[in-house]
Amino acid sequence: RNKMPSMENMLQAWPKEIEDELRNGTLELPSADIDLNVEEYARMLCSLLGIPVYDGCMVDSAHALITLFVESQVSNNVYA
């Protein structure tokens, strides 16, 4: 079974421009109105954010996506 990278590694993997946009709240991701089901939308977001999606492990990827979001929000509060 493949292992997810650590949150620290995923947070460090983004270019400075992406981090700045996350911090400023200006990063525009595709809206949930896009014609995808929930799993397809989560896979797309994971792909855009560099979160691996392994066969049969979508829950792990979704968990990483949510954790990454929370971590970025906590970081935003630290920088504010």
Report the distance separating Cα 25 and Cα 71, nearest Å.
Answer: 14
Report the distance separating Cα 43 and Cα 61, nearest Å.
Answer: 8
Q: What is the pLDDT along the chain (80 residues), one digit of tens a residue?
A: 678 888 778 777 677 887 788 777 788 888 878 999 989 999 998 988 888 998 888 999 999 988 888 877 776 565 55
Q: What is the pTM of this model?
A: 0.71
Structure tokens at 64: 């990483």
Task: Provide the pLDDT for residue 43.
Answer: 92
- Amino acid at position 48, single letter: L
Report the distance separating Cα 74 and Cα 80, nearest Å.
Answer: 10
